[in-house]
Amino acid sequence: MVDVPEPPTEAADNPFEQPSDYGDPDFTPRRRSLGVRTLALCVLVAMMAAILAGFIASILLSRDSKQANAEMTLTAIDEIDTDALVGRRLLTVDGKATTLYQQMGKQRTLVNFWQSTCTPCIKEMPLLEQAQAANPDVAFVGVATQDRLEAAKKLAIQTKITYPWVQDPDGTLFYEANAAGLPTTLLLDSDGQVLALETGAFTSAKELQSFLDDNPGS
């Protein structure tokens, strides 16, 4: 009798085939899982790179902005006619004629332009009062520009400033100072030459003190 060959065994008995779990409903291909993790990692790396690039860009833009502002300030100072500035006619609180030259100190003089309707000016004035007490070698002069006298007087009382202030009724001194907004602060040497110009309010006593310390004059 001829032996009949036995039928092939299951695929698992074939040494050239690997068992498959695709029939298992709980089976998740490893390759797909690896692909998801890789994609997530790539997205995370891309996000971190974008954040870092944005941070570097903000630093460069800030540096460029500061440099541009510094250049604009130097240009504004160079364009100021200091003789006209210190000789411009002003009014005292009592309505008497005066000039910035007559209000200047023997060393440096800080000139602060303000207005009673200017909120940043109002917030800054107590800092100026503190700085005046801390720097007896610097004369402080406030300039109420294009303001009503009664409103200016009320604000001076409200903010408790003790340094002298004058009136610039039509804003001629403000424009002579090449000011771009309120408040604006000038620092003059004893000859009336402009040492520094700051547009906008000082926000801290430290910032204001640095403004004075960084511009000692000759």
User: How confident is the chain (218 residues) per 10-residue block, as mean pLDDT?
Assistant: 53 48 54 70 85 72 46 77 96 97 94 98 98 97 98 97 98 96 97 96 98 92
Domain contains 203: yes
DSSP string, 64-83: HHHHHHHHHHHHHHHT--HH
88 and 177 assigned to the same domain: yes
Domain-embedded: residue 73: yes
Amino acid sitting at position 155: L
| CATH code for position 85 | 3.40.30.10
Measure the CA–CA gap between 77 and 75, rounded to whole angstroms.
5
Residue 209: the pLDDT is 98
Count the helices and strands in the chain (H runs, E runs): 7, 7
Domain identity same for 37 and 103: no
Tell me, yes or no, whether 149 and 209 share the same domain: yes
Q: Which helix (H) or strand (E) holds 185?
A: strand 184-188
- Write down which residue in 79, 97, 120 finishes a domain: 79
Mark whether 102 and 38 lie in a shared domain. no
Spatial contact of 122 and 128, defined as CB atoms under 8 Å apart:
no
- For the CA atoms of 75, 78, 81, 86, the dihedral, rounded to the nearest 10 degrees, stands at 100
Q: Tell me whether residue 20 is in a domain.
A: no
Say how far apart CA 213 and CA 146 lie, in whole Å.
Answer: 30
> Residue 153 falls within a domain, yes or no?
yes
Range of the domain at 160: 81-213
Is there a single domain that holds both residue 145 and residue 43?
no
Q: Supply angle C-alpha 113, 166, 158, rounded to 5.
A: 75
Predicted pLDDT at 74:
65
- Tell me what pLDDT residue 68 has: 38
pTM for the whole structure: 0.69
Q: How far is CA 93 from the centre of its chain?
A: 34
Residue 50's identity, in one-letter code, is A
Handedness of CA 115, 116, 118, 121 (dihedral sign): positive
- CA-CA distance, 28 to 62, in Å (whole number)? 51
Contact (CB, 8 A) for 61 and 70: no
For residue 194, which of 88, 108, 95, 91 has the smallest C-alpha distance? Answer: 108
Hunting for tokens 């996000």 — which residue is that? 47
Q: Structural domain tally of the chain?
A: 2
Q: Could you report the per-residue pLDDT of 50-88, keeping only the tens digit for each?
A: 888 777 766 655 444 444 355 556 678 999 999 999 999
The strand pairing partners of 196, in sequence order, are: 187
Task: Please check whether residues 33 and 65 belong to one and the same domain.
Answer: yes
Widest pairwise Cα distance in the chain: 142
Amino acid identity, residue 167? Q
Q: Is residue 60 located within the same domain as residue 147? A: no
163 and 191 together in one domain: yes
